[in-house]
Amino acid sequence: MFPWGLSCLSVLGAAGTALLCAGLLLSLAQHLWTLRWTLSRDRASALPLPKGSMGWPFFGETLHWLVQGSRFHSSRRERYGTVFKTHLLGRPVIRVSGAENVRTILLGEHRLVRSQWPQSAHILLGSHTLIGSVGEPHRQRRKVLARAFSRAALQRFVPRLQGVLRREVRSWCAARRPVAVYQASKALTFRMAARILLGLRLDEAQCAELARTFEQFVENLFSLPLDVPFSGLRKARNLIHARIEENIRAKICGLRAAEAEAEAGGGCKDALQLLIEHSWERGERLDMQALKQSSTELLFGGHETTASAATSLITYLGLYPHVLQKVREELKSKGLLCKSNQDNKLDMEILGQLKYIGCVIKETLRLNPPVPGGFRVALKTFELNGYQIPKGWNVIYSICDTHDVADIFTNKEEFNPDRFMLPHPEDASRFSFIPFGGGLRSCVGKEFAKILLKIFTVELARHCDWRLLNGPPTMKTSPTVYPVDDLPARFTRFQGET
């Protein structure tokens, strides 16, 4: 054999040996990683850990989760059941679904579990938020914000919401090109959250710039918690806080004028103003960091999730024209469909009478809940569905999976708003339908979201027909549910009534 042949064999042999050693080391690391979590079970409990996989060392199953999206959870639920273990974003996690299991988690706040979002979300949102606070600070903050979502406040929001939504859907009908519904919905709901919920005085250019900055923020909300200089986490947080602080300082300077306007208009105050006044009433110095964090949380909750739900509404009404027809029949019965009556104003009483539209919204939220679940940490070891949940482990309760496995719903894959007509199935088990969460941490702005979605549906049905250009969309969750193609649709004016 030629010398170069022997040399090649020697190199190949060395490479093979190196690969074999690397494989053995990887296998050993995998075994030690699995053993590490097996030994972490609470030995004072005779119950086993839930079934599941902890994935690869350090990364766990995070990469699988990011790539597979909702399929990651559904595939493991099918394999391991409604309670299973995994490892995500650097933490051991118990994933929970099913009405009774979720009931235990949601009603166990401060006793079995407490809120603890992933470290990346904590870095971005901070501790001065509803999701980041616990105990008395959480109760006080929630009490203040509840005033911004009272029935009286919602009644005063309705005319502004209706005006904005009507102008928007008309612009979609006048557009010469197809509308990317998800992107358009995010821009719309961001403007409403910034101007109505927070009372920020922004022109169109400023609002668009802030919205673009916020996109970077949301993209990093659930990521590996690497809070280092020039990281996506720190850059997104600093950019959004800088933009918001400018507006907060301007708002504080003009707060007296805002108070006069609020009194003239019946006392309607936005959420940011209520937070500022709450500090003044308690004799506290204004904490700019707390105000920035609270504003950021309200922007996220007030627009990202609502845009997701609005996009899903357009999807289902576009795919099921008979449902849209029933919506219009209800509007006609209330005198709201006739386009010659353009000055017809909505209010809380009229919106409360639109029962079928309410059912359409519920069915949309059942199939596509905008927020997939909530994050907790176990305060002590406790039993759930025959397994131990070890103290210190993260617990994620799943909204979408709980809807999927709920026995009270028949033909679960079918879009059927009539299932929510009386008697309401959620009355049989209120934890089978939880689009806004539940317990002490249910969404504080859920009534605002419901009203906004009702007005949106009314204005869509009154003014628009539309066609989904790509048919039924593929949905992804990151961090809210959205169509991967942004749902391109062509809108035209509705000609059914004169």
Q: Is the alpha carbon torsion for 461, 467, 471, 477 positive or negative?
A: negative
How many CB atoms within 10 Å of residue 33? Answer: 18
Put the strands of the sheet holding 91-96 in their side by side order. 83-88, 91-96, 394-398, 373-378, 113-115
Tokens 């004028």 belong to residue: 257
Helix (H) / strand (E) element for 7: namely helix 3-38
Is 207 annotated in some ligand binding site?
A: no
Question: What angle, 0 to 180 degrees and rounded to 10, lies between the N-to-C axes of helices 232-253 and 204-219?
Answer: 140
What backbone torsions phi and psi does residue 341 show, to the nearest 5 degrees? -100, 65
| Nearest-angstrom CA–CA distance, 175 and 171 | 6
Residue pair 262/268 in contact (Cβ under 8 Å)? The answer is yes
What backbone torsions phi and psi does residue 51 show, to the nearest 5 degrees? -70, 165
| Nearest-angstrom CA–CA distance, 458 and 158 | 12
| Nearest-angstrom CA–CA distance, 348 and 380 | 44
Residues 6+ apart with CB under 8 A from 245: 288, 292
Residue pair 154/269 in contact (Cβ under 8 Å)? The answer is no
Residue pair 344/336 in contact (Cβ under 8 Å)? The answer is yes
- Burial (CB count <10 Å: 0-12, 13-18, 19+), residue 185: buried
Residue pair 299/190 in contact (Cβ under 8 Å)? The answer is yes
Q: Which of 10, 72, 121 is nearest to 477 (CA)?
A: 72
Retrieve residue 46's tokens.
């005779």
Residues 6+ apart with CB under 8 A from 159: 345, 346
Distance, CA of 311 to chain centre = 13
| Nearest-angstrom CA–CA distance, 270 and 147 | 9
What ranges in 149-221 are assigned the alpha helix state H? 151-174, 181-192, 204-219
Question: DSSP of 434-484, one letter per residue?
Answer: -TT--GGGS-TTHHHHHHHHHHHHHHHHHHEEEEETTSSPPEEESSSEEET
Binding-site residue numbers for heme are 443
Binding-site residue numbers are 443
